[in-house]
Amino acid sequence: MKLLRVGPVGAEKPAVLDAQGQLRDLSVLLPELTPALLAPAALQALSGLDLERLPLVTGSPRLGCPIAGIGKIICVGLNYRDHAKESGMEPPAEPVLFLKATSSLSGPNDPIIIPRGSLKTDWEVELGVVIGSTTRYVSRDQAMAHVAGYCLINDVSERAFQLERGGQWDKGKGCDSFSPVGPWLVTRDEVADPGQLALWLDVNGQRKQDGHTSNLIFDVPTLVSYISQFMSLQPGDIISTGTPAGVGLGQKPEPWYLKAGDRVRLGIAGLGEQEQLCVSADSVEAL
């Protein structure tokens, strides 16, 4: 299944994409797509629905973040060897973890808001892993049973805030609009192998990232198991698994960053696409 939420910010309603690529209204059955609905039994019940009996969603509504009530976003840094190299860092011996604020969540096609004082806002296409059941100290062999599905994420980053302002990476990772998620959550049964997915990102029509999840240093089962040794993973939590080479920080002959007016498109095979217009924080606050 491909689950999503449609409608204005704060008034999204649940929907599902049918086999013909049409949006079907789930709100006639469910008030919201919450983390509780990601449990295996709940997803199995949803998979039994006759989607053609659900009403069509008309028009071209805004797409929101596919799941409401996400508890935390756990990100993995430097998880592709080529990205570590372009960042001037050694591939890590263990996963590098950091958290993004949930206030950074936005819909897949909502604008990227360039923060006040930003000179180095960057892009990062990433595979997101959505947890379906509470996970503590899980083994690698059992880890995938706790995964509800997958999604596309743009791990937008402000490099000066992240690397030049002292402290942890969080300052450059948690700004408003820095976690576009979607267009939908694709349930685990529809993705045969999360380690065999092509992912890409364009800026203003130019291909910047062209990678493959087979090049992850730490694969999805390893990440789920590893993270669960340090914190419990709860239904609805998202693990953002890292980005391949081609970010603005690594552009040659010199780094190149986003500015107001730029357009970003990105996608992962089978998980859909996103498109964002970059706007300044001042222009948003003036509305």
Specify the pLDDT at position 82.
86
Mean pLDDT (whole number) for 10-37: 96
Sign of CA dihedral 4, 9, 12, 17: negative
Greater model confidence, 166 or 39: 39
Q: Is the pLDDT of residue 89 over 90?
A: no
**Cα dihedral sign for 49, 51, 56, 61?**
positive
Mean pLDDT in residue range 228-238: 98
Instruction: Determine the pLDDT at residue 123.
Output: 98
Spatial separation of the C-alpha atoms in residues 63 and 71, rounded to whole Å: 20
Give the pLDDT score at 87: 80
Q: Tell me what the mean pLDDT of segment 12-40 comes to.
A: 96
pLDDT of residue 113: 98
pLDDT at residue 127 tops 80: yes
pLDDT tens track for 136-176? 999 999 999 999 999 999 999 999 999 999 878 889 999 99
Does the pLDDT of residue 207 top 90, yes or no?
Answer: yes
What architecture does CATH give domain 68-285?
Answer: Alpha-Beta Complex (3.90)
Closest CA to 199 of 183, 179, 215: 215
Bridge partners of residue 212, in order along the sequence: 198
Alpha-carbon gap, residue 121 to 273, rounded angstroms? 20
- DSSP string of 65-119, one letter each residue: -SSSS---EEEEES-BHHHHHHTT-PPPSS-EEEEE-GGGEE-TTSPEEEPTT-S
pLDDT at 286 over 70: no
> Residue 66, class by beta-carbon neighbours within 10 Å (0-12 exposed, 13-18 middle, 19+ buried)?
buried
pLDDT, average across residues 198-209: 98
Round the average pLDDT of the chain to a whole number and report it. Answer: 96
The phi-psi region of residue 69 (left if phi > 0; otherwise alpha if psi is between -120 and 50; otherwise beta) is left
- Indicate if the pLDDT at residue 287 is higher than 80: no
Per-residue pLDDT band for 86 (boundaries 50, 70, 90) equals confident
Share of the chain above pLDDT 70, in %: 99
**What percentage of the chain reaches a pLDDT higher than 90?**
92
Q: Rounded distance, CA 124 to CA 137, Å? A: 29
pLDDT tens digits for range 75-85 = 999 999 888 88
User: Where residue 244 falls among pLDDT bands split at 50, 70, 90?
Assistant: very high
Report residue 126 as tokens: 């990433």
